[in-house]
A = this chain, B = another copy of it.
Amino acid sequence: MTVLIVEDDAVHRAFLRDVLVGTLPDCRLIEAADGVAGEALAREHESMNVVVDLQMPRRTGVEMAKTLWRERPATAIMFWSNYADEAYVRGVSRIVPEGAAYGYVLKSASEERLALALKSVFLEGQCVIDREIRSVQQKSADRSGSFTDVEYEILVDLALGLTDRLIAERRGISLRSVQNRLAQIYDKLGVYETEAGSDVFNLRMRAVTLAGLRKLLNRNSLEQAEAELAAWLAASPRASGGRR
């Protein structure tokens, strides 16, 4: 069995190596320090299992997993991450193909838990998701305090700095609808619940700040969204008024 390790932190990489040879003694290890290198290595080998960090320079673990699964949906992938940010959990759930085996464990988990998860995913083809992650996942799928996909997309557009008008254009709805969605978003994020008056904040900014503090948005998700936005802007030539 071949296992590809994709992890930028040298210390963690060494640790992973130790755990893997201890858990799966007859496995061959390949290592990469970021997503781009990882993808290249993955293409050179036929069938393999992957352990990948989510937060890496150049190319996120999520992005790498996405292209990897598109080419070979049967690949077993273990996500190994520092954080249980809702942004990551949402990102991973969105890309896992039908019936693929994958795992999601936190770096704070014990070595035993990691080893067990590795065996379950790579040998048994099961899905193993850490308790902490699981709870985030459920909270995120729960229909009450949480966000639909449309709302989330608009929240991202908001965080990127788009105007209402442009969000409407991009998502194919009217200006007023965007504003309605925004009102929902503000409400769900609790923008109004503040000790001091309520005319204190710039609502759209406050919403994004709260989303950030709540780990619904993080730098990685914004980076990716920024790239998608740039592509969309280039592809849809606007009548560009040009204020200045």
Contact = CB atoms under 8 A, between A and B. Distances in A.
Which of under 10, 10 to 19, 20 to 34, or 35 or more describes the interface residues of A?
35 or more
A242 interface: yes
A209 B166 contact: no
Contacts of A40: none
Interface stretch (A68-76, A93-101, A132-140, A195-203): A195-203
Contact of A243 (B163, B199, B240, B243): B199
Interface in A168-213: 192, 195-209, 212-213
A209 B161 contact: yes
A244 interface: yes
Contacts of A196: 233-234, 238, 240
A228 interface: no
A163 B200 contact: yes
B11 A206 contact: no
B212 A222 contact: yes
Number of identical monomers bound together in the oligomeric complex:
2
Nearest to A160: B209
Residue in A9, A162, A200 whose Cβ sees the most chain B Cβ within 10 Å:
A200
A48 interface: no
Nearest to A194: B233
18 contacts: A9-B82, A9-B107, A9-B108, A10-B108, A11-B11, A160-B209, A161-B206, A162-B200, A196-B233, A196-B234, A197-B238, A198-B242, A198-B243, A199-B240, A204-B205, A208-B208, A209-B222, A215-B219
Given A11-B107, A196-B238, 5 more contacts: A9-B107, A195-B230, A197-B242, A198-B242, A198-B243
List the 8 shortest-distance A-B pairs measured between CB atoms, nearest first.
Answer: A161-B206, A197-B240, A161-B205, A199-B243, A196-B233, A161-B201, A11-B15, A197-B242
Interface of A: 8-12, 15, 82, 107-108, 158-163, 166, 192, 195-209, 212-213, 215, 218-219, 222-223, 226, 230, 233-234, 238, 240-244
